[in-house]
Amino acid sequence: MDSKHRHELEQNMLAKWLITQYEDWIRPNSSWLGYALLGVLIVVAIIMVTARMNSWNRAAAWKQYYAALNSLNADADLELIANSTSGTIGIQARLTLAQRQLTEGCFSVFTDKPQAITVLEKAIDSFQRIQKGTTDPLMLQRAGFGLGQCWEALAAARVGSDLTKAEEEYQKVGDRWGDDFLGQRAKQQLALIRQPETRAFIELAAAKVPESFGKDNFKVDFDPSDPFAPGRINFEALDQKMETEEQKNETEPEQKPEDGEKESDTMEPLPPETE
């Protein structure tokens, strides 16, 4: 049998098989197949519409996020976006909010300690919620490093706080992402806060009482033998001493040359010229 007749025979056999399948199974179940095909088309349409709506929602959420950055009530707007939006946008809004709270708390450490403590505690809560709400490595790095900064600033804002939690957060970031930029930064900051000079400065900052609120909140004693000992400095006494010295310097008369003595006589002679 040549190839032409063989091909015709195969076509006839395939046609017979298709007709048999149609008569035995497709035709009796044609209504069910129609419903199944219609169901598949509906599912595909729902998936396409959902994807398009999600894309529109993400675009609108990002638009709200960037608008919140330039808002007069940026913290409240970012908090609203973080609570009402899931996914990357909500995490990013909460991260931005936490970083703003951290910055505000650091600035308030030397001006309004109660306000600094309140804002820093809010920042800590925001960073911790980020850690629980995402698995993104970059977000986790930034949240961990931010927590270390919060605990470090809180130690400078509140007497009696230590740097243990700050060390723990920096250690975690440095161990997990030691090759990344924030991992290197965490290692450097960990080494810095372990130095005695840094700890003494932080304790001194915690004992320093800003003028914006009552100084009775932090009662310290002055120790003349160790005037720079953290927690024992009486800043009022130091201020009065400095003011007294300034007044004394202002009242001292300026030394003038005596009568008959020329001003040039009081000047040191010039060195002889050398040939």
Block residue for tokens 């924030």: 182
Q: How many domains does the chain have?
A: 1
Query: Is residue 226, in this structure, part of any structural domain at all?
Result: no
Query: Is residue 61, in this structure, part of any structural domain at all?
Result: no
Q: From CA 59, how far away is CA 62, in angstroms rounded?
A: 5
Domain containing residue 181:
74-209
What tens digit of pLDDT does each residue of 227-270 get? 444 444 445 555 565 666 666 666 655 555 555 544 444 444 54
Query: Is residue 205, in this structure, part of any structural domain at all?
Result: yes
Look at residue 264 in the predicted model and tell me its pLDDT: 47
Query: Is residue 14, in this structure, part of any structural domain at all?
Result: no
Q: Which residues of 143-180 are buried (b: 16+ CB within 10 A; e: fewer)?
A: bbbbbbbbbbbbbbbbbebebebbbebbebbbeebeee
Q: What is the mean pLDDT of residues 61-77?
A: 85
Output the pTM of the full model: 0.60
What tens digit of pLDDT does each residue of 110-136 get? 888 999 999 999 999 999 999 999 999
Query: Is residue 236, in this structure, part of any structural domain at all?
Result: no
Query: Is residue 47, in this structure, part of any structural domain at all?
Result: no
Domain CATH code at residue 109:
1.25.40
Is residue 109 within 8 Å of residue 157, measured between CB atoms? yes
Query: Is residue 239, in this structure, part of any structural domain at all?
Result: no
Query: Is residue 230, in this structure, part of any structural domain at all?
Result: no
- Asked if the model's pLDDT at residue 27 lies above 50, the reply is yes
Q: From CA 78, how far away is CA 85, in angstroms rounded?
A: 10
